[in-house]
Structure 1
Amino acid sequence: MTDQTTGDRTPHPAPSRAVARTVEESRLDGTLVPGGPTLAAEVLRESGFDELVAGLREPVVHASSLADLTSAVREAGVRLWRAAVDRAQGRTTSGTLDPYDDRPLYWARTSLSATLRGLDSPHLSVQHQRLGLLHLLDRTSRGIERAPWPDADPDEVRVMVSGFDVFGLDQSLRHSNPSGAAALQLDGVRLTTPYGPARVRAVMLPVVYGDFDQGVVEDAFGPVLRAGADRADLIMTISMTARGRMDVEKWAANTRGGTPDNQRDQHFGPVSRASHWPQPFDSPEWIETTLPYEAMVAAGTGPWPVVLKEGVREWPAGTFPDPSALTEGPDPSPGSTAAAGTGGDYLSNESMYRSNRLRQGLQAWDVPGGHLHISALEYPEDPAVLTDPAFEADRRAVVDQTVALVTAAAAAVARRR
């Protein structure tokens, strides 16, 4: 593991017990330029989240019992998610970073995770207790463990979306993810459509295979796919693709093979199965979108073109895993083994696959579902610059178009009612 430390100016205290950080936590010490401030500290300071993190850390560090520690961790995650959403949507103002910036949430969560991993507490007698608390912090700070629709009215179309954390941090620590920024803009929002209102629930997914193996996608979407009053009317996973395009993905594939994740882990083979949620058996090789893509394409959003993306990679029936047998085509062939969906073979494809495999397992056939890939960002030319007006305007344009596409999908569902 590469040590990027060039001087510790991070806003977190040194761990109080000897502990190995995760790869993600190790990047808290990374800088954009040698001798400069750590990127995490800069983001937290410029967003005003340094004070938030310090305030959330205090009850965790000074908890007087395991029950108090658990309560403090839960409260930290809930407050962090709410603070990120409130800042994004303009209900609160802190720091000088653009409200559309998704990075404060990521680095605040990572900082609190490192604190909790290194906490020398007399209330933690076995490692499973600490791991349980880390899990609790992660899920609550992603907007996952909470009431599904606390503010929805009976007449509102209910739309569930997900964005992703930042990733590609070994290439540049300053990366932002417009899908995560869109999730923060959308959570709890009441959209207006010509056919009635829609209420959005949003969550943030990690870019970590291990968390996907533990069912983070299913835990996020399951509560709104079960039969009953909380069932959504539409689900959509969202992630970032290449520059200058907006793609509604036609096919999700039962496959892994993309680049390493945020923990530098890489997997190959079929998508694992979440043990605690119902799903088809056997898992389907391919799942086709049921999003109202015609309405999304026809909505006339901009600045980027919107298309239904076709094209898959597969092993024809009986040829897996022969490398020379791989083929590409617009749609899967009968009996083939998936190598890549229209959205590739990374966690964006897997988020669509898992959420819609779960939709099938819960027999939510009336709920449209699929994936939207949105344009990548253009960063400041100077790699030492965290942000500038052109970058912020670019991200805002991508996010605003994403919101418009979610609104178009919601309108199509409302029209069918």
Structure 2
Amino acid sequence: MSQHRSLSRRAARVGLCTAVACSTLALWTVPSGGATEATGVPPAPCTGGPGVLTVEEQRIGLPLVEGGESAAAQFLRAAGFEEAVTAFTDDLCAARTLVEVEELAARHGEALWELAVARAQGEVQLGTIDRYDDRPLYWARLHMTRAVRQYEAPFELTGIQRNALVHVLDRSSRGITTVAWPEDAGDARRVMISGFDTYSLDASLRNSNPSGATALQLDGRRLETADGPVVVQSVVFPVNWTDFDQGVVEDAFGQVLVPGEDRADLIMTISQTSRGRMDVEQWAANARGGSPDNNRNTLFGPVSRPSHWPQPFDSPQWIETTLPHQAMIDAGTGPWPVVLNDGICEWPAGTFPTPSAVRCQDDPSEGSTAASGPGGSYLPNESMYRSNRLRIGLQAWDVPGGHLHISALEYPADPAVLTSPEFEADREAVVDQTVALVAAAGATR
């Protein structure tokens, strides 16, 4: 399988000068010095307000180990993303109207996403950390949303308007606002995928998520396969129940599921599972199990319904994958085995919510209430459920959809170390296998 993509759109959007595509001066350049403060960027004069920060944003100044430097600062410096944050805060402080701030939030969010993709795909050489690393994008975004929360505006800014600005910045920095098939796609199969932010940061701030790394590797790519070309668009989802309640999954995938010429040929949500396995999940469950998200929020019960997208009249308890799982298994990818993963937990008909009535078995029974799918009852399961419930609501019956859980990573033994050659090789192997599986699924007709 060979892979290539057009660089012109990316180069023009980010403003990068490279050997193959040169526009104007680079929007952001490699910083010449080291970190300037614990957060990795100099303080902006307009961002010292008393804004209420999220748990994620409060982690910005935390070190990997006691007495060490901020983990966020290390990631920004290692990727050369410090000036991305500084450019945003400089423009923020120069703005004089709400309309200006709204525009720059969208512009800088999209530029951050495009820079992260360009760096991941080797279009620009920036920083010293491995180009497969997904973590700098996560920490740069948090620096920028924190700046908006603490922004001391020279005009009246209500709490609702401030939160809306954060929303604009967050969504645009995840690829959601730039989903578009290439004009020269021709007869290529069109695939949209999603990955996730890093998570479990209370356990370790250096956690990476290979699904997010995969999304950065694939956005805008054209994959040449024996069965024809595949073009890919990708996004990265937050690990937060609140964002899912607001419809982030539907807002992303809805763009390629509505009727019309832009409808995708296949959709796939991707996330990280346990070590050494690649699972095509057979079922998505209409269930939230209560595990904490990146802001330490917990939710238990059925998956909420967004009011601004079509939905089935009754949300099904179970949605079965329609991905071409056998073609993915037969593709012969490695290093990890690929399987169709079954096994669910349910309340048999009429027994919900009795705790002792929960039963686990291969497949759902008639009339049961979902407790968890083979992929669990956390946000990965929900990403599959939401995207495919929407697919049903939009009557995109001819668009296969489902979820791929990919292998977790092994980290350096020293908890103070961000990365190592072994860790980077491991992540690259997982991501490259995932790319091959996306190509195999997308090429199946």
Q: State the TM bucket, normalised to the shorter chain.
A: over 0.9
Per-residue CA deviation, residues 95-144 of structure 1 (Å, 9 max, x unaligned), is 11000000010000000000011000023431111111100001100000
Aligned to 2:109: 77
Q: Does 1:397 align with 2:429?
A: yes
Match status 1:191 vs 2:223? yes
Range with greater deviation from structure 2 (320-329 or 29-38): 29-38
Which range moves more in the overlay, 90-99 or 55-64? 55-64
Structure 1 equivalent of residue 333 of structure 2: 301
The letter of the residue matching 2:231 is: R
Whether the 8 Å CA contact 2:112–2:137 is kept in 1: the answer is yes
Q: Which residue of 1, 8, 11 maps to 2:40?
A: 11
Distance 2:242 2:37 in 1: 29
Pairing of 1:144-163 with structure 2 (within 5 A): 144-163=176-195
Is 1:33 matched with 2:65?
Answer: yes
User: How many residues end up aligned between the 2 structures?
Assistant: 407
For residues 245 and 116 of structure 2, the distance between their equivalents in structure 1, rounded to whole angstroms, comes to 26
Q: Tell whether the 8 Å contact from 1:124 to 1:130 is kept in structure 2 after alignment.
A: no
* Alpha-carbon distance in structure 1 between the residues aligned to 2:38 and 2:267: 41
Q: % of aligned pairs identical?
A: 62
2:131 maps to what in 1? 99
- The whole-number CA distance in structure 1 between the counterparts of 2:98 and 2:51 is 20
Please, which of 56, 80, 85 is the counterpart of residue 24 of structure 1? 56
Q: Secondary structure at the match of 2:178?
A: coil
Distance 1:44 1:268 in 2: 35
2:346 is matched with 314
Match 2:392 to one of 338, 341, 360: 360
Give the conservation status (yes or no) of the 8 Å contact 1:8–1:29.
Answer: no
Segments of structure 2 that go 5 or more residues without pairing to the other structure are 1-35
2:266 aligned with 1:222: no
Q: Check conservation: 1:243, 1:377, Cα contact below 8 A.
A: yes
* 1:136 alignment partner, one of 146, 168, 171: 168
Q: TM-score, normalised by structure 2?
A: 0.90
Runs of 4 or more consecutive aligned structure 1 residues displaced over 6 Å after TM superposition: none
Distance 1:290 1:124, change over 3 A: farther
> How many Å separate the matches in 2 of 1:283 and 1:357?
7
Query: Out of 401, 409, 415, which is 2:441 matched to?
Result: 409
Residue 127 of structure 2 is aligned to residue 127 of structure 1: no
- How many angstroms apart in 2 are the aligned matches of 1:114 and 1:140? 15
Worse-superposed segment, 138-147 or 325-334: 138-147
Residue 251 of structure 1 is matched in structure 2 by 283
Match of 1:171 in 2: 203
The match for 1:323 is: 355
Paired with 2:78 and 2:259, the residues of 1 have a C-alpha distance of 44
Distance in 2, matches of 1:234 and 1:257, equals 28
1:384 aligns with 2:413: no
Q: Which moved more, 1:75-84 or 1:55-64?
A: 55-64
Whole-angstrom CA distance in 2 between matches of 1:58 and 1:397 = 39
Map of 2:143 onto structure 1 = 111
Q: Distance in 1 between matches of 2:228 and 2:404?
A: 23
- What code does the residue aligned with 2:38 have? R
Question: RMSD value over aligned CA atoms?
Answer: 1.2
Q: Is 1:66 paired with 2:95?
A: no
Q: 1:333 aligns with which of 343, 357, 365?
A: 365
C-alpha distance in 1 between matches for 2:125 and 2:183: 23
Once the 2 structures are TM-superposed, how far is the Cα of residue 259 of structure 1 from its aligned partner?
1.8
Displacement of 1:34 in angstroms is: 2.0
Shift of 1:152: 4.7
Q: Compare 31-40 and 41-50 and name the one that shifted more.
A: 31-40
Which amino acid counterpart does residue 87 of structure 1 have in structure 2? R
Name the SS of the counterpart of 2:388 in structure 1: helix
C-alpha spacing 1:21/1:335, structure 2 compared with 1 (3 Å): same
Closer/same/farther in 2, CA of residues 317 and 152 from structure 1, 3 Å limit: farther
Q: 1:248 and 1:258, CA in 2 relative to 1: closer, same or farther beyond 3 A? A: farther
